[in-house]
Structure 1
Amino acid sequence: MEQSGRRTRGMRAGLTRDQIVAAARLTLTQRGLDGLSLRAVAAELGVAPNAIYSHLADKDALIDAVLDDVLAAVHSPTARDPRRAITVIMTDTYDVLITQGSLVGAYLTRQGSRGPEAQRLGVIMDQCFERLGIAAAAAAAGRRSLIVYTIGYAAFATGWTDADTQPIPSARVRRDFLAGLDWLLAGIAPR
C-alpha cells in the first residue's frame, strides 16, 4: 500500500517495504507465525508500529507480503518442454516451502499467495499449459490442483508427531511427491 505524493511516517522513518518484509521474515524465524505481528516487526526495525502502516495495512497484508517474498526464490524455469517447466516450478515451490515450514499453514489457509511473485509463476504455468494445448479454464483448474497438491505435500513433509519425530523420512516424502506430481501432470496433460 505504498503511497505517492505526501511522505507518510513510514517513509519519513526511511523504511522500505523490502526492509519491512525482511524484518518480518526474521521475526517469523525467531517467533513463528503466531509471534509475527506489526508490533514485533516494528520492534525488530526499531520504529513505532505506525511507521509500518505506511507500507502495509495490517497483519494479513504483512503475511501476504512474506508469503509472496518466499516465492521469489522460485526461479523461472529454463526448460523448453512445458511439462518439464511445470515440474520445475512445482518442485522448486515444494523445496522453498519445506524450508519455510512455519509458513505452510498460512499458504493453506490463504489458498496460496496472490502477490506479484505468485502471479509471475501462474502466468508461466498458464503459458506452459497453453503450449500443451490445454484450454484456459482447464489450465486454471490444473494450476490450482498442482498448487494445492504441492502445498499439501509440503505440509505433510514438515509435519511432525507429538513425539517430535517425522514418521516418514524426508527423502521418501520427496520421492512420493515427485511421483504424484508426474501422475497429476499425466492426468492434466496426457502425452
Structure 2
Amino acid sequence: MTTAQRGRPGPRRTLTAEAIVDAALRLLDRRGAEAVSVRGIAAELGVAPNALYTYFPDKSAVLRAVVDRLVGEYDPAALADPARPWRDRLHGLALSLRARLLAHPGAAGLLLGAPMDGPRALALGEALLELLAGAGLDERDAARASYLLIVYVLGAIALEAAELDPALPVPPEADRVAARRAALDAVPEETYPRTAAAARTVSRYITTEQFRWGLDRVLDGLAVKG
C-alpha cells in the first residue's frame, strides 16, 4: 500500500438517522404507511438501500423511530411548569400531540402498530409520571394513570386520523364535521334510531371539543382517589 493510499479518506457519510426519519415522514405524508419501505426511503434520499442499514436494521426500526419523533415533539418545560395546574399542563400536552400527529395522518396510524420504547417516548413517560406524582397519585396509581392517558390521547388521535387522506391537506374541522353529518343522515332511522337521534353529537366526534371533553372525563377520574 502506498503512502497516498494510506492517507486517502474513507467514503463520506451522507446520511444520518434523522435524515432517514425525515424521508420516511415525507413518504408517509404523500402516500401513506404502505408506501414506506427501505427501497422507497432510499429512493427518496437518492442512495442505495443498503446505505440505510448502517442506521436501522429494518423497516420496522425506521417506523419506530418515526413514532418516537412524533410523540417526542412537545414542550418539556411547559409540562414540568409547577406554576400551572397539573390539569392545564396535561391539556396542553394532549392538544399539542393531537395537532402534531394530525398534521401527519399517515403516521398517526403507526401509533397502534409500533411500540413506544424510543428515547423520546421514554422521556415523555417519565415526565408524565413526575407530573402525576406531583398531582398526588402514589407510584402505582401514577403508572396506571400514565398508561390510561396515553391510551386515550393516542387512541383518539389515531381514530380521527383514520378518516383523513394522508396525501391531502387536512380539511378544516367544520368541513370534516359536515361530511360526517352527511354520512350519518344516510343511516336508516328505523334501523338505528338512537344513532340517528344522536347524529349531531356523533358527527362531532372528531372535534377539539370532543377530544377535550373525553380528556376531562379521564382527568376527573384521576382527581378522585378512592
Same fold (TM over 0.5): yes
**Counterpart residue identity of residue 120, structure 2:** E
1:75-108 CA distance string (max 9 Å, x none): 2252422222222212211222222211222101
3-state SS of 1:84 partner: helix
The match for 1:130 is 133
The match for 1:157 is 160
Distance in 2 separating the partners of 1:43 and 1:166: 37
- Structure number with greater Rg is 2
Structure 1 consecutive aligned stretches of length 4 or more whose deviation exceeds 3 Å: 164-167
The match for 1:108 is 112
Among 199, 204, 209, the alignment partner of 1:175 is 209
TM-score calculated relative to the size of structure 2: 0.71
1:71 positional shift: 2.3
1:36 positional shift: 0.3
Instruction: Point out where structure 1 has 5 or more consecutive residues left out of the alignment.
Output: 1-8
| Alignment pair present for 1:185 and 2:219 | yes
Among 80, 83, 94, the alignment partner of 1:90 is 94
Matches within 5 A, 1:1-191: 12-78=12-78, 79-80=81-82, 81-110=85-114, 113-160=116-163, 165-167=179-181, 168-169=203-204, 173-190=207-224
3-state SS of 1:56 partner: coil
What is the number of equivalent residue pairs in this alignment?
A: 178
1:6-61 CA distance string (max 9 Å, x none): xxx9x844211111111111121122100101110111111111110000111110
**Counterpart residue identity of residue 119, structure 1:** L
Instruction: Point out where structure 2 has 5 or more consecutive residues left out of the alignment.
Output: 1-9, 165-175, 182-202
